[in-house]
């Protein structure tokens, strides 16, 4: 969220953050958003009896904010996407999907798995969300090397550098109308 806000403030990303929603009241992103005078709210999953009711509440807030695109960033609570937001929710994952994705694959777990598999490259993936974890059509991927002496933390730092480039780039492509989904793939038209 901070990276996107910085890109917006500098004029490199033509977008506006209308609302920051967290499922955790102590999320640091809320503190950052509040310091930038962005509207924030907390919707806790445990306050709802089902994923569907939780998701309905979240998307009602999104509709009220009139958000055209939902950008997940460190949001680890499952959301059920309503039909009116199909192909309008994106996420960033700290690996090259479809590898090292799915339930439980987030943060340090991903980098540990990449290292355990002996990969020579890693990176990040910006993708459209669907009703499963990390399976939506891929928009942008960026890579970085996996070094012989890497730890999960050192690899995470290099992957994060790529995330800071990939996410605003993907949003720019979508905002410019250059991303078309065909089946399970995206096609990026020339700029």
CA distance linking residue 25 with residue 49, whole number of Å: 19
Catalytic residue among 7, 93, 111, 127: 93
Find out whether the peptide bond into 98 is cis, omega within 30 degrees of 0. yes
Please indicate whether residue 127 is annotated as part of the active site: no
Residues designated as active site: 93
């Amino acid at each position: 969220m901070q990276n996107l806000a910085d890109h917006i403030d500098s004029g490199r990303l033509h977008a506006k953050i209308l609302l920051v929603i967290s499922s955790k009241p102590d999320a640091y992103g809320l503190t950052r958003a509040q310091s930038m005078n962005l509207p924030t709210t907390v919707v806790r999953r445990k306050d709802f009896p089902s994923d569907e009711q939780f998701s309905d509440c979240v998307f009602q807030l999104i509709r009220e904010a009139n958000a055209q695109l939902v950008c997940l960033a460190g949001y680890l609570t499952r959301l059920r996407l309503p039909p009116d937001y199909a192909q309008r929710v994106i996420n960033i994952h700290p690996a090259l999907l479809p590898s090292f994705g799915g339930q439980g694959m987030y943060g340090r777990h991903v980098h540990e798995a990449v290292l355990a598999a002996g990969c020579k490259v890693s990176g990040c993936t910006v993708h459209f969300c669907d009703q499963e974890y990390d399976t939506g059509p891929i928009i942008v991927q960026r890579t970085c090397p996996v070094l012989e002496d890497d730890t999960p933390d050192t690899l995470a730092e290099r992957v994060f550098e790529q995330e800071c480039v990939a996410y605003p780039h993907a949003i720019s492509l979508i905002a410019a109308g250059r991303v078309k989904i065909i089946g399970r793939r995206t096609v990026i038209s020339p700029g």
